[in-house]
Structure 1
């Protein structure tokens, strides 16, 4: 049976009315970068819980989580209203297999996500292992609007620390934004414009691809990559595509 513990909110960052981050102090068991835990609140005398990936890296305090306020999401609509000092429940033990332990070695690692599905990548990029295992790391983030692109300071930090290894590419589908591709990720995977912009070829021989976020994006991207010779990565049969849907 899952063990729940109390965490304390130490910051609630409102990027805009529908996008926010929580920083929480809590003594949880050690986790692996890319994993998730569950957060919960009492709402109308009922415990409401949902899984959320860590954005913070293992060993960091406070823990950090990244949220989109869903129109019909009782928990996200309550979490966004939390103040510093408020309590939130967390599962003591993390779960999930969207980690580097499950991704085979290769020359290049492509980390492709939409919206808050970018969170586990920040957790992984904040650890040492990923920089030791791959020669080239491409972080791809797809959003509707440029205001959905927080954490640019963190991206700049990775760029400065690893200028020869790290590339960031944004997709902004509903507006023009400097250096961003105005399209959707699956379209750009299909027509080659992502690779052209980044200056790196996607190939089964040299690339591992992680996909996280909108299930439609994940599904479409997987099908396009399969058409180019990539296969899903399974423990019993290693491949080049590792996925995690966000709802």
Structure 2
């Protein structure tokens, strides 16, 4: 199969896509990152922070699917996704060429651990992400429940360069003018974007900023405490492992939908091999 951009929804091939949804917009942020929006199945219900399987038909005619966090909130009429581009990746080598009007496969069975139900009640909520791992938090930052449940929300996002932070920066800056949640947010949301390669106002890995206490000094707040703090983690496998050690050193325990605790980790993150 050729790249999906060569197949419009009016072509015979497009009509045979199973669970097909139509692409409504695409934005390329860097040569490695892009986001896109698609139609939402009328029957789809999901909790902000969950993921679904999306993809295209492979060369053998069978669906090639990967887990993608839904970046739009549960109330949005469309679905948004945020993705890396891998030149030789089986899926993203084709997915990065989609255009409005094309179709993708979407399996409408949302699951995931980055949901409010998997955490015990708390006062401060930490979103910890690298790269496209910000996607589920893009959903949760636009979810009214987030601001109803917590007094303070900290969005820590780390990328190599400033350009790779642009998706998150633009989203966060738009929230104050959001007609649904703008007034709810007030000064509750604190955004802490850092880079690891390019010089920027804030530098360093999330683990370093937490362990050194730099992030707490920056906001003039007490370190994490299991009595008050809750955290959600989404990044590469190595990042998840490192952050789990840091959170547990603060006394936080890993939870799940069936056993809420102080922090949760998304294990179905889309990595560099797609």
Q: TM-score, normalised by structure 1?
A: 0.92
Match for residue 176 of structure 1? 199
CA-CA distance at 1:235 after TM superposition: 5.5
1:20 to 34, 38, 43: 34
Deviation at 1:218, TM superposition (A): 1.4
> Equivalents in 1 of 2:119, 2:260: separation in Å?
8
Q: Which has the higher contact order (CA 8 A, sep 6+)?
A: 2
- What residue number does 2:7 align with? none
Match of 1:225 in 2: 247
C-alpha separation in 2, matches of 1:198 and 1:118: 21
Cα distance change, pair 192–65 in 1 and its aligned pair in 2 (3 A): same
* C-alpha contact 1:169 1:198 (8 A) present in aligned 2: no
1:111 aligns with 2:127: yes
Q: Residues 6 and 26 of structure 1 are in contact (CA less than 8 Å); yes or no, is this contact kept in structure 2?
A: no
- Please report how far the alpha carbon of residue 62 of structure 1 lies from its aligned counterpart in structure 2 after TM superposition: 2.2
Partner secondary structure for residue 44 of structure 1: coil
How far, CA to CA, are the matches of 1:159 and 1:167 in structure 2? Answer: 12
Distance in 2 (alpha carbons) for counterparts of 1:60 and 1:8: 15
Structure with greater strand share of residues = 1
Q: Normalising by the residue count of structure 2, what TM-score does the alignment of the two structures yield?
A: 0.83
How far off is 1:234 after superposition?
4.2
| Equivalent in the alignment of 1:122 | 138
Q: CA deviation at 1:110?
A: 0.6
Deviation by residue 1:106-156 (Cα, 9 ceiling, x = unmatched): 010011111111111111121111100000000110101111012323201
**Against the structure 1 CA distance between its residues 234 and 14, is the aligned structure 2 distance closer, same or farther, given a 3 Å change threshold?**
closer
Distance in 2 separating the partners of 1:23 and 1:86: 11
The one of 201, 212, 229 aligned to 1:207: 229
1:158 counterpart residue number: 175
- Residue equivalent to 1:86: 102
The aligned counterpart of 2:76 is 60
Is the 8 Å Cα contact of residues 34 and 98 (structure 1) preserved in structure 2? Answer: yes
| Deviation for aligned residue 1:159 | 4.9
Aligned partner of 2:5 in structure 1 is none
Partner Cα separation in structure 2 for residue 210 and residue 94 of structure 1: 18
- Residues 165-220 of structure 1 deviation map (CA, whole Å, 9 limit, x = unaligned): 11000110011213x2x111111211111211233322111100111112211111
Quick check: 1:139–1:167 contact (8 Å CA) kept in 2? yes
Does structure 1 retain, via aligned residues, the 8 Å contact 2:130–2:236? yes
Secondary structure in 2 matching 1:92: strand
Q: CA deviation at 1:77?
A: 1.2
Aligned residues: 243
- Deviation of the 1:164 alpha carbon: 2.2
Alpha-carbon separation, structure 2, partners of 1:241 and 1:94: 20
1:37 Cα deviation (Å)?
Answer: 0.7
Are positions 1:11 and 2:32 aligned together? Answer: no
Aligned Cα root-mean-square deviation (Å): 1.9
> Which residue of structure 2 aligns with residue 31 of structure 1?
46
